[in-house]
Amino acid sequence: MDYKRQEPYERYQLGLPFVGIPSFGKFPICTDLEQLDAHIAVLGIPYDLSIQYRTGTRLGPRGIRTESMLYAFGSGGYDFERDDVFLGPQCKIVDCGDVDMIHGDLEQCFENAEIAVRKIVEKGAIPVIMGGDHAVTIPVVRALDCYDKIHILHIDSHLDWADARSGQRYGNGSPMRRVSELPYVDKMVQIGIHGIGSSRKCDFDDAKAYGSKLISPRQLRKMGIDEALSYLPEGEKYYITIDIDGLDASVAPGAGTPNPGGLTFDEVDEIVEKACKRGEVIGYDFVEVAPPYDPTGVTGMTAAKLMLNFMGYVLKKKGM
Ligand SMILES: [Mn+2]
């Protein structure tokens, strides 16, 4: 071997994926939201009291953080297809840690989440949320009431429009119904819904009566992504909520309710890239990642990689 060891002063810190405290994407940590000064603030909501069967999404934020270490690229990453650098040093992204959870107390968990997201928005950062089960989208969107009007882009294999199940109105099958009831939530486009038993017919009827545009993976492939996004008013504000089970179970087996027949990684990536160009994304969440069911870690990898790509698209739109 004839390589020459660099002198210490010539070296820089490599920060390999297994080295250091696992913050999301190895971005700086800022758990005191009063001190927050960033373009994007990552926040975990490790809540899984609203799931009917497979709990474990409380470990979602931790799992996504661990897998995200693999894709941390320091001061920007070059993409040869777009011939552009994403997430360069001018992009300020921080990991704000997790919302505190109170065991067995849905209302307190929701309140803690809402307060944290409200603070992030007040500080001028875009909230990027890691669930938790899909019920966490309810307090997150509640915290966006400083906006006059927002539209929802929802990616999921399930409709999530159940009004109540035996009186439970805040289950992980109800978030889209609950956010539709907020006065500043306007249009809704739901992509990826599929499969027999995804939801009851009455829930589909209610979603359609609200005006939500429902698009299955097969319908998406026929109409194309541009047409699917044409149902979101151009140039307006979007909140994007992504249930990891909207992706096919082959890349997301570690989910509360995995579902074969879902969207591909590239489809979800392109949907969000185009949504970022079409309007202003004011926040997004990734929910339902349940690491205990996935020893390979691919579910967390899929979520981490998509979250990082979306940060690149959101900030590119802002000229960064
Ligand atoms: Mn869902």
Q: DSSP per residue over 58-123, as a string?
A: GGHHHHHHHHHGGG--SS-EEETTTTEEES-TT--EEEEEE----TT-HHHHHHHHHHHHHHHHHT
pLDDT tens track for 59-111: 999 999 999 999 987 778 999 999 999 999 999 999 999 999 999 999 999 99
Q: What pTM was computed for the model?
A: 0.95
Which of 261, 307, 259 lies closest to 284, judged by CA? 307
Measured in Å, residue 160 CA sits from the centre of ligand 1 at 6
Q: In this structure, are strands 280-287 and 126-131 parallel, antiparallel, or unpaired?
A: parallel
Question: Which structure tokens are listed for 57?
Answer: 């999404």
Residue 242 has pLDDT above 90, yes or no: yes
Superfamily per CATH, domain 22-317: Ureohydrolase domain (3.40.800.10)
Measured in Å, residue 107 CA sits from the centre of ligand 1 at 19
Measured in Å, residue 4 CA sits from the centre of ligand 1 at 53
Which of 258, 282, 269, 256 lies closest to 308, judged by CA? 269
- Average pLDDT of the segment spanning 238-262: 96
The span from the CA of 129 to the CA of 41, in Å, is: 8
CA distances from 163 to 55, 92, 178, 185, 288 (A): 21, 39, 8, 17, 20
pLDDT tens track for 160-186: 999 999 999 999 999 999 999 999 999
pLDDT tens track for 117-165: 999 999 999 999 999 999 999 999 999 999 999 999 999 999 999 999 9
The span from the CA of 281 to the CA of 314, in Å, is: 7
Predicted pLDDT at 9: 59
Measured in Å, residue 241 CA sits from the centre of ligand 1 at 9
- Average pLDDT of the segment spanning 191-218: 95
Measured in Å, residue 240 CA sits from the centre of ligand 1 at 12
**pLDDT > 70 fraction of the chain, expressed in percent and rounded:** 96
- Average pLDDT of the segment spanning 228-256: 97
Q: How confident is the model at residue 187 (pLDDT cuts 50, 70, 90)?
A: very high
Measured in Å, residue 171 CA sits from the centre of ligand 1 at 10
